[in-house]
Amino acid sequence: MPSALAEELTGRLRCASCRYELRGLSVMGECPECGLPIQATLLSIVDPKAEELQPLAHPRLVGAGLVAWIGGAILAALAGWAVWVSGVAPGTLSPSAQQRLIVAGAVALALSALGALAIVRPHPGVPRARLIAAACGVALYPATIWLYVTLGRVAALGPEQSLLGAWTGTPEPAPWRARRMVLWLLLAAGGALLRGPLRMLAARSLVLRAQRVDRQTVTAGVAALLVAALGDAIGLVAPAWGGGAAGSLVLVGEVLVLLGAVLMTLGIVGVAIDVYRVLPSVIHRPLARRDVVTPVTPREGADAHG
């Protein structure tokens, strides 16, 4: 019988179906518990490109940065929505509660900025252009936080001074609307500039890289923010039309702002799901075939006569 190389599972590997421990079995065999081919488990768990991925110098710091970045964004969005709802339904929150929410949202954005700092350069060898772009994205945070606080304080004062003017019939101050448009644009620019390192980290996940889930959540979030900015731009130029057309344009603009804000929030949730998926591959090096499989040469004497 000709001598041939075999492969044996020498590392810890659990069946993808029933979680039975497969160590010591041949890769050509099946799970003794459920009968699933071991090759199927290897294909679903072992990352064929694990050895090509650049190792992270501080994986736990990068992982914490990812969580802080998206967690801060979620908290800031929730605080913003709460203040908006309190403007729609006066009396829902007291003025002091509104102000505390605005401050909490600003602190959450600052936390998101700190998280972004940790992912600008996740490992050595990041292309210079991508590194500069990500650093610029982080640099936009101070202006974003200032606008968030400024706009939040005005929106909390009531419909006559907030984005609710389109439905109450009260003209909204153009400077406030212009600042809100700038906020949307800053958020969109920050997301676009940070997309590079985020994609590099997402590539560490076998699930995301193999497109078992087809997601472009950062891009979708940026597009949603641009829709909201377009709505404010329409509102800014609406007075030039005069008469009833101006009111209709303002209403269209506010609908776009609301639509963009809703889609942005959904985009943030989608990014959070992606972060959850990629986090294990960031904190722990992806599982390579050599981690669980070892080539073994059959003993010539025994196998030759076997």
DSSP 206-230: HHHHTTSS---HHHHHHHHHHHHHH
pLDDT at res. 24: 73
The answer for residues whose C-beta is within 8 angstroms of residue 302's C-beta and 6 or more apart is none
pLDDT at res. 9: 59
pLDDT at res. 2: 35
CB 254 within 8 A of CB 166: yes
Name the pTM for this structure: 0.73
The C-alpha atoms of residue 229 and residue 21 are separated, in whole angstroms, by 54
Q: Which two tokens stand for residue 215?
A: 């997601």
pLDDT at res. 57: 73
pLDDT score of 192 more than 80 = yes
CA atoms within 13 A of residue 156's CA, in its CB half-sphere? 22
Stretch 84-103: mean pLDDT, rounded?
81
Judged by average pLDDT, the poorest of 24-28, 165-169, 188-192, 234-238 is 165-169
Domain-wise residue ranges, the chain: 6-46+288-305, 57-283
pLDDT score of 103 more than 70 = yes
Shortest CA distance to 9 belongs to which of 20, 1, 18, 284? 20
Which one is predicted more confidently, 172 or 272? 272
pLDDT score of 45 more than 80 = no
Stretch 130-141: mean pLDDT, rounded?
94
Stretch 132-154: mean pLDDT, rounded?
91
pLDDT at res. 173: 67
Burial class from Cβ neighbours inside 10 Å (0-12, 13-18, 19+) for residue 170 reads: middle
Shortest CA distance to 140 belongs to which of 121, 174, 117? 117
Which one is predicted more confidently, 29 or 45? 29
pLDDT at res. 160: 42
Q: How confident is the model at residue 7 (pLDDT cuts 50, 70, 90)?
A: low
Judged by average pLDDT, the poorest of 25-29, 146-150, 273-277 is 25-29
pLDDT at res. 174: 77
Stretch 131-148: mean pLDDT, rounded?
95
- State the chain's mean pLDDT as an integer: 77
- What is the residue type of 126? V
Helices marked H in 48-203:
59-88, 95-119, 128-139, 141-155, 165-168, 174-202
Judged by average pLDDT, the poorest of 3-12, 37-46, 215-224 is 3-12
Stretch 244-257: mean pLDDT, rounded?
83
Q: How confident is the model at residue 153 (pLDDT cuts 50, 70, 90)?
A: confident
Which one is predicted more confidently, 125 or 9? 125
CA atoms within 13 A of residue 173's CA, in its CB half-sphere? 11
Stretch 173-182: mean pLDDT, rounded?
84
